[in-house]
Chains A and B, each alone.
Chain A
């Protein structure tokens, strides 16, 4: 019997779940909306609390997923419909299947594949196409801190290592207005006529791992984010720190390319703010900010970091010690109090806040400000939840059937949850939880098999 799983989202959570299921001998369809896999972890510079280089530990995973014989990777794709109780004998249109065999066929899933305009099998990622592309747009992977062409690869380690033509940036596809990339491609991998495709697959269990985005609403904007180039969110700062980022790991201000000597980090930007933002705590910001402080000091030895916070939430193995290190070894000044105002003055970004411990209002004329914007669920989570018939809370995070006793079960038999789509959580928690969801899938398969055996016995 050959049961199959669908994993939605190919960030670290989705990849882990997919690998655990695939390594147990089952086929997995892994659906990712972006052109490459790895999720936000691919954007990170280093990870807390060990300061392992994120790419270094992630790349083996992305490569493994990309090469796994049991994983069928569908990038630029989204799940648009799910029908449960599909007929077991039915075959999806996505054929041939990876291997033949009997299937449970619990769900029939319709997946919309957006055109890449580049044939994956033909592209060698040589980059000749991008060299001739005349269109320059901000690179999403670098959070707009660097540019890309209309035809591009998100980053050098991308899996799949295939270019993609961005139809919104391209000078025109219908009718073809430019066509330079097509001319440049020796392998003739570019197909301007590629159309969206809907495929159907039959699977027996689903893991939802659609992850998170950063909040970009009023409560974050209030800190001059978007108004000032030197005010950025945590992921932008990760890109600035990253060796493969827009500056090659050199920490400079976007506004003038100078090395920032004083950097202010603002915690809870949008989080813990029921009136003007979101009521919940985003959980990971305290730790990644401590990491940012340490990494910044590694690069700018004579620099100074300030962190405005309400509570330092360092619950996790080695986390308390890590924050202590940021304070003691890297001289990070933690200031307990919210920031009320951020504004430009004389080439600096002025931060007005309060130190509730000395009961004084403080002002810092910073060179750079990093706001720890709240974690919000992926934009598509509500729609996906509707498609799957699973619950979401008022913010769009998926809800488990019982948050405490069955934290990875959606309540819909066969649909399991993992990662930050459930709520803000860090990498180890996501990975453990994704393995947990995988376990539930494996157990679910066994239960289905047993049920079918029973049915068969009855028929006999």
Chain B
């Protein structure tokens, strides 16, 4: 399928919203890929972190369907090394927030192995609620 690019998309409401929530200039990213190179969780992602920014830059809303934004653990390795100072964890958060506010919920504690649930530290559950639910 050919993706239609137009000003309504690349400077459209989705891009504006992502930039507003994250406080980042999407186009500051020149796609060098250093974030993807250093991301510790990248193996579990279906899109590379730089591709997530890329899709956001182009206003591709289907970026919300990827698992990458939910796999990102906000470890901040990428922003520590980003040559352009792009705060990718904030971008990921913005995308999560947009999805969550549309009613997506990603945390299902019932699906966790009960023995694990019993053991996990409280802050993992609190953090999980903050990141994956609304």
Contacts and interface: CB of A to CB of B under 8 A. Distances in A.
Nearest to A331: B27
B62 to A, nearest CB: 10
A306 B5 contact: yes
A328 interface: yes
Given A304-B10, A331-B11, A333-B58, A361 B28 contact: no
Interface string B20-52: 000001011011000000000000000000110
Given A304-B10, A304-B11, A333-B57, A361 B30 contact: no
Given A331-B11, A355-B58, A360 B28 contact: no
A365 B30 contact: no
A262 B3 contact: no
Given A306-B5, A328-B25, A364-B5, A358 B54 contact: yes
Is chain A's interface secondary structure helix, strand, loop, or mixed overall? strand
A263 to B, nearest CB: 10
Given A261-B7, A358-B60, A365-B4, 19 more contacts: A303-B7, A306-B5, A324-B28, A324-B30, A331-B10, A331-B11, A334-B30, A336-B31, A352-B2, A355-B54, A357-B51, A358-B54, A361-B2, A361-B3, A362-B2, A362-B5, A363-B2, A364-B6, A365-B6
Nearest to B50: A357
A223 B55 CA distance: 26
B1 interface: yes
Interface of B: 1-7, 10-11, 25, 27-28, 30-31, 50-51, 54-55, 57-58, 60, 84
A346 B34 CA distance: 41
Most buried by A among B5, B7, B30, B60: B5
Contacts of A145: none
Contacts of B11: 304, 331
A328 B27 contact: yes
A363 B4 CA distance: 5
Contacts of A324: 28, 30, 84
A327 interface: yes
From DSSP, what is the main secondary structure of chain B's interface residues?
mixed
Interface in A299-319: 303-304, 306, 312
16 contacts: A261-B7, A262-B7, A304-B6, A304-B10, A306-B10, A324-B30, A324-B84, A332-B27, A333-B58, A362-B4, A362-B5, A362-B58, A363-B3, A363-B5, A364-B4, A365-B4
Interface-central residue, A306, A327, A361, by most chain B CB under 10 Å: A327
Contacts of A335: 5, 58
B30 A327 contact: yes
A357 B54 contact: yes
Given A304-B11, A328-B25, A331-B11, A357 B6 contact: no
A47 to B, nearest CB: 23
Given A361-B1, A361-B2, A333 B10 contact: yes
Nearest to B53: A357
B39 to A, nearest CB: 16
Contacts of B3: 355, 360-363
Contacts of B25: 328
